């Protein structure tokens, strides 16, 4: 490993880095997709692993901002994690991640995040799954049965090229209502959400954007979806995003999607785990959760900065003993004193009330994993009875964290 050096990849090296990424991900993208990736990478931190001048490893990080309870934080988001097949399992990824953690700490980013292609990889680096998503299918061959009355304001389809301004206004206003959501710039809206040809399925239609609310009034909700016909089954509505102000507004959008002629199935990916749809749908056989998956994996780079940056729902005064092999500055006993008025987190000699690994604290940080569940799973140890319950009350968020922007 001494033969491998880690350093920034200059802009002139992006093409080479992309070739390595396509090699390890077994992709042969069209020129347009390659150009898109090139554009995305220009704004990223790019770390390369070089051996004798050859690029053998590459990782990039988007300079994103992610919502956390009570606010938002700068959060480098790892992507294009690639190691040459000739150099795997020699510590190249470990070296690149250590480099990225050092950059994040120097830049004052208390957290980092990623989506994992394989769950087994990132726990050892201190990442824990902090948000989860559901895949949902709705049988729309019959009218959607609802227990509430949908909002009766008008629905209108808008041109996707005009959509970013309208949707961004809504999204930015509501984004921090849930932790785990990523701030979207205009290019992200256009290239990731509203791009004409779907990246994974070229049989899907271009994106359709439906908005609830009169043109002169505020947007009360929106859905982004694509459709396709199928040979041996009614057509498909692939829902990419649905957001709305109220349950009635959500119901109106779901009812619209379920009533599109010549379709008989809605498939939605990455829905929030606490989606109110599952309560207001009258027929649980019609609306089914077909899968659950970890979405955003979070790393607390600086545990003190992360904990003191979020809001707390209830008072707690406790001593945590944190295990963190990769970033030892986080390790050891710390007194956490938090309440809705603020939080302090200081090193202490007092005995610990709870021991927890950094990766599990990261999973609990946004309110999506309960400390009590970690204790029951044998992953955290409660030394003073009641500590897990007090921490869970303090970490609680009204809505579960949610991430749907995959990168």
Catalytic residue ranges: 122, 407
Residue 93 or 183 with smaller CB distance to ligand COA: 93
Please choose, from the candidates 70, 42, 101, 143, the residue with its C-alpha nearest in 3D space to the C-alpha of residue 309. 70
Size of the site for ligand COA (CB under 6 A): 18
Query: What is the DSSP code string of 85-136?
Result: GGGTTSSHHHHHHHHHHHHHHHHT--EEEE--SSTTTTGGGTEEE--EEEEE
**Does position 94 bind ligand COA by CB under 6 A?**
yes
**Does position 2 bind ligand COA by CB under 6 A?**
no
Which long-range contacts link 386-391 to residues 24+ away (Cβ below 8 Å)?
387/318, 387/353, 387/354, 388/354, 390/314, 390/316, 390/318, 391/316, 391/318, 391/354, 391/364
Residue 118 or 232 with smaller CB distance to ligand COA: 118
Stretch that binds ligand COA, among 28-36, 88-96, 200-208, 283-291 (CB under 6 A): 88-96
DSSP 8-class letter at 193: I
Helix or strand run (H / E) with residue 244:
strand 235-244
Q: How far is the CB of 17 from ligand COA (least distance, A)?
A: 12
Residue 81 or 237 with smaller CB distance to ligand COA: 81
Q: How far is the CB of 247 from ligand COA (least distance, A)?
A: 36
**Does position 92 bind ligand COA by CB under 6 A?**
yes
Q: How far is the CB of 48 from ligand COA (least distance, A)?
A: 13
Residue 4 or 320 with smaller CB distance to ligand COA: 4
Question: Which residue matches tokens 């991900």?
Answer: 25
3-state secondary structure of 224: strand
Residue 23 or 233 with smaller CB distance to ligand COA: 23
Q: CB–CB of 112/126 below 8 Å?
A: no
**Does position 89 bind ligand COA by CB under 6 A?**
yes
Q: How far is the CB of 378 from ligand COA (least distance, A)?
A: 20
Residue 37 or 208 with smaller CB distance to ligand COA: 37
**Does position 98 bind ligand COA by CB under 6 A?**
no
Scored b (16 or more CB within 10 A) or e, 365-399 reads bbbbbbbbebbeeebbebeeeebbebbbebbebee
**Does position 52 bind ligand COA by CB under 6 A?**
no
**Does position 50 bind ligand COA by CB under 6 A?**
no
> Footprint of ligand COA on residues 115-144 (CB under 6 A)?
116-118, 120-121, 124
Stretch that binds ligand COA, among 10-18, 83-91, 297-305, 397-405 (CB under 6 A): 83-91
Please choose, from the candidates 248, 2, 241, the residue with its C-alpha nearest in 3D space to the C-alpha of residue 136. 241
**Does position 24 bind ligand COA by CB under 6 A?**
yes
Q: CB–CB of 72/66 below 8 Å?
A: yes
Determine the residue with CB nearest ligand COA.
93
Our separate counts of H helices and E strands in the chain read 11, 19
Q: How far is the CB of 90 from ligand COA (least distance, A)?
A: 5
Q: Which residues bind ligand COA (CB under 6 A)?
A: 24-25, 81-83, 88-94, 116-118, 120-121, 124
């Amino acid at each position: 490993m001494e033969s491998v050096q880690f350093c920034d990849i200059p802009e002139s090296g992006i093409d080479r880095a992309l070739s390595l990424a396509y090699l390890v991900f077994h992709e042969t993208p069209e020129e347009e997709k390659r150009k898109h990736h090139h554009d995305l990478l220009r704004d990223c931190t790019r770390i390369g692993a070089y051996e004798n001048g050859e690029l053998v490893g590459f990782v990039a990080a988007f300079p994103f901002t992610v919502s956390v309870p009570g606010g938002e934080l700068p959060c480098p988001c790892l992507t294009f994690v690639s190691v040459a097949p000739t150099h795997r399992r020699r510590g190249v990824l470990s070296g690149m991640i250590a480099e990225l953690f050092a950059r994040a700490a120097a830049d004052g980013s208390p957290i980092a995040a990623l989506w994992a292609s394989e769950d087994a990889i990132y726990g050892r680096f201190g990442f824990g799954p902090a948000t989860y998503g559901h895949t949902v299918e709705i049988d729309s061959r019959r009218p959607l049965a609802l227990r509430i009355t949908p909002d009766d304001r008008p629905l209108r389809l808008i041109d996707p090229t005009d959509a970013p301004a309208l949707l961004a206004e809504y999204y930015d206003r509501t984004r921090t209502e849930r932790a785990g959501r990523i701030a979207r710039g205009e290019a992200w809206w256009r290239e990731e959400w509203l791009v004409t040809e779907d990246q994974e399925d070229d049989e899907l239609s271009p994106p359709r954007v439906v908005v609830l609310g009169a043109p002169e009034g505020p947007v009360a909700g929106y859905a982004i979806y694509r459709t396709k016909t199928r040979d041996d089954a009614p057509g498909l509505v692939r829902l990419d995003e649905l957001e709305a102000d109220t349950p009635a507004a959500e119901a109106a959008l779901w009812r619209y999607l379920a009533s599109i002629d010549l379709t008989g199935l809605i498939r939605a990916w990455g829905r929030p785990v606490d989606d109110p749809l599952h309560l207001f749908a009258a027929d649980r056989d019609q609306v089914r959760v077909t899968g659950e998956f970890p979405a955003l994996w979070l790393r607390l780079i600086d545990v003190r900065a992360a904990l003191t940056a979020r809001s707390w729902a209830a008072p707690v005064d406790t001593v945590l003993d944190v295990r963190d092999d990769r970033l030892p500055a986080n390790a050891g006993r710390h007194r956490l004193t938090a309440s809705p008025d603020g939080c302090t987190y200081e090193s202490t000699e007092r005995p610990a009330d709870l021991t927890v690994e950094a990766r599990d604290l990261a999973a609990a940080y946004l309110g999506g994993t309960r400390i009590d569940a970690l204790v029951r799973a044998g992953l955290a140890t409660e030394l003073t009875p009641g500590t897990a319950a007090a921490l869970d009350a303090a970490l609680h968020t009204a809505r579960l964290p949610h991430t749907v922007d995959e990168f």
